[in-house]
Structure formats: C-alpha cells, structure tokens
C-alpha cells in the first residue's frame, strides 16, 4: 500500500511475479479509514524528510507462486500471526499460513505492516489478502486461527461478516495459556512438585483445546480443575494459598472468558484439522 495524497490504492503482483494492474479500493467507511491512513503517511514523510507530493511506503504484502499454490490446495484452515523484531524499521511481520498434506504449517502470505492499528488490519483483511488469494480461494476458508490482539480480532470479525463469510475464528491456545500464565501467574516455586503442578494445569487447559469433544465433558472437567484440583489440600500445601488464588483468578479472568473461541467442543463441525496454535514461524 502506498499513499498518493489522493487515493487509497494497492499494487497487485500477478502469478509469475510481474507487476500487475493498479486498483482503487473504496471501503464502506472510507473517510474514517483514509483519515487514519493519511495521518500516518504524513507522520512517515516528516520522519524521512520527504515532501508532501512524494510517495511513502506504508505496507508491503506479498505471496510467492508456491505459496499461492499451497493456499489454493489447502485453504480450509488459515493461521494469522504477528512477529516482532524481524527488521530494522521495527515493522510487525504478519504471516498467514496453512497446513499441508503432511500436517506441516507452510507460510503462504507475508506482510510488512506499518503498525497494529485497526485501520491497518481492516485494510489487510478486507483488501490486501482477498486481492492476493482471490474469491475462489477465500470462499473455501473455514477457520482462521489468530492471537489475542484486540484490534486484529475486531477487524477480523468485521472481515468475516463481509468477506470471509463461510469461516469462523479461533483463539490461539499458546497465547492464552503460555503467554497468559507467564504474565498473570508466573513461577509457583522452585521445587519439582511446584513445577509439576504448573505443568499439569497447563496440560489440562490444552486438553480442553485438543481432546474434549462434548460440552458436558468440558463443563465437568472445568469444574474439577477449578474446584477440586487447584484448591485441593495437596496442591495448596505445595504452592500456598496466594498462588492458588492467582491461578483461579487467571483461569476465570483470562482463560474461561474466551472458552467459546478456544474449546474444541465448540468447533467439532468446523474443518480445522485439530489446530489450536497460530504460530507460523
């Protein structure tokens, strides 16, 4: 995406890599979108001492021929992931991947994004990615796995309602459990018993995402984890009351509030190949 000072436009690369046509994209809320875009473009011009009539690079989205063929062959499940510290400009690298016939994740689309604001994700999900993959492919996407960035989730939901109408989204289990535990719980102690308890609880949560198939099983297992295990005498004796309370708070406030977007029992009718993590790299 580049800013011409007049239009919102994208350049698309054709299948063999030669420059294709330039197309204008008109969005439903163009004025809001354009205002954010031009404000960012103005900031970038000032940062590089460019004139107002000079173009500045805002975003670059691309797919190699082999990636497009892979996406066309395996479009049902799409992974979306943002990675940082990959370039000197500190731009987020957003990747989209699919699972191939051998169950391996293959990155098919890459994007150097200017930031992770709502207008950028809106353009990415509703303009750039659809232009690259084509309608015949995006209509076959059934599930998108993504992390917990609020701007990304909001704009992905908007894109699902207007573009990717045949698919649903699912939250990445690694971001909810591993990153969430790291941020809200931390270490339970140095003893091997404490480490084993932490490992068992995290494995229990992953079990919700990978194995439990019915809602009744899920509710029973969740109650067993919350009421019987975490607060049991044998666990509290090892990790203490404060750590037990922190775990319960974490489970209720940061895990189970997202259950409809991660628990396997809610996705049995979706062709998702049992994927529960969105990491592409």
pLDDT confidence of residue 220: 94
Look at residue 25 in the predicted model and tell me its pLDDT.
42
In 86-155 the beta strands, taken as DSSP E runs, fall at 93-99, 105-112, 143-146
Under a CB-based contact definition with an 8 Å cutoff, are residues 249 and 204 in contact?
Answer: no
Q: Is-contact 172 145, C-beta < 8 A? A: yes
CB contact at 8 A, 120 and 114: yes
Q: Which of the 8 DSSP states describes residue 87? A: S
Element (H, E) at 243: helix 233-250
- 265 DSSP 8-state letter: G
* CA angle, 188 then 192 then 196, to 5°: 70
pLDDT at residue 229, rounded to an integer: 94
- The total of other beta-carbon atoms located within 10 Å of residue 203's CB is 11
b or e along 29-58 (b: 16 or more beta carbons within 10 Å of the residue's beta carbon)?
Answer: eeeebbeebeebbeeebeeeeeeeeeebeb
CA angle 88, 91, 95 (to 5 degrees): 120
For 24, other C-beta atoms within 10 Å of its C-beta total 10
pLDDT at 280: 56
Below-70 pLDDT ranges, the chain: 1-34, 279-281
Question: Terminal CA-to-CA distance of the chain, rounded, Å?
Answer: 24
Per-residue pLDDT, 12:
36
**Mean pLDDT (the chain, rounded):** 85
pLDDT at 84: 86
């Amino acid at each position: 995406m580049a800013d011409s000072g007049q239009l919102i436009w994208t350049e698309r690369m054709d299948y063999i890599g030669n420059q294709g046509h330039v197309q204008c994209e008109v969005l439903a809320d163009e004025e809001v979108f354009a205002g954010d875009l031009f404000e960012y473009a103005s900031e970038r011009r000032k940062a590089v001492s460019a004139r107002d009539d000079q173009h500045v690079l805002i975003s670059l989205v691309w797919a190699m021929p082999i990636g497009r063929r892979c996406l066309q062959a395996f479009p049902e499940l799409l992974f979306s992931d943002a990675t940082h510290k990959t370039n000197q400009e500190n731009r987020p690298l957003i990747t989209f991947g699919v699972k191939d016939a051998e169950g391996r994740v293959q990155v098919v689309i890459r994007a150097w994004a200017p930031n992770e604001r709502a207008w950028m994700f809106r353009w990415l999900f509703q303009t750039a990615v659809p232009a690259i993959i084509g309608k015949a492919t995006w209509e076959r996407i059934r599930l998108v796995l993504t992390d917990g960035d609020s701007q990304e989730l909001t704009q992905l939901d908007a894109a699902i309602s207007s573009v990717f109408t045949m698919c649903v989204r699912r939250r990445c289990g690694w971001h909810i459990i591993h990153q969430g535990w790291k941020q809200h719980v931390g270490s339970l102690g140095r003893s091997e018993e404490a480490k084993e308890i932490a490992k068992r609880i995290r494995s229990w949560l992953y079990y919700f995402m990978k194995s439990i198939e019915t809602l009744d099983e899920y509710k029973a297992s969740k109650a067993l984890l919350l009421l019987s295990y975490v607060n049991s005498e044998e666990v509290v004796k090892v990790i203490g009351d404060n750590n037990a309370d922190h775990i319960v708070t974490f489970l209720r406030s940061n895990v189970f509030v997202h259950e409809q977007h991660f628990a396997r029992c809610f996705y049995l009718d979706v062709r998702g190949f049992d994927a529960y993590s969105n990491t592409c790299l």
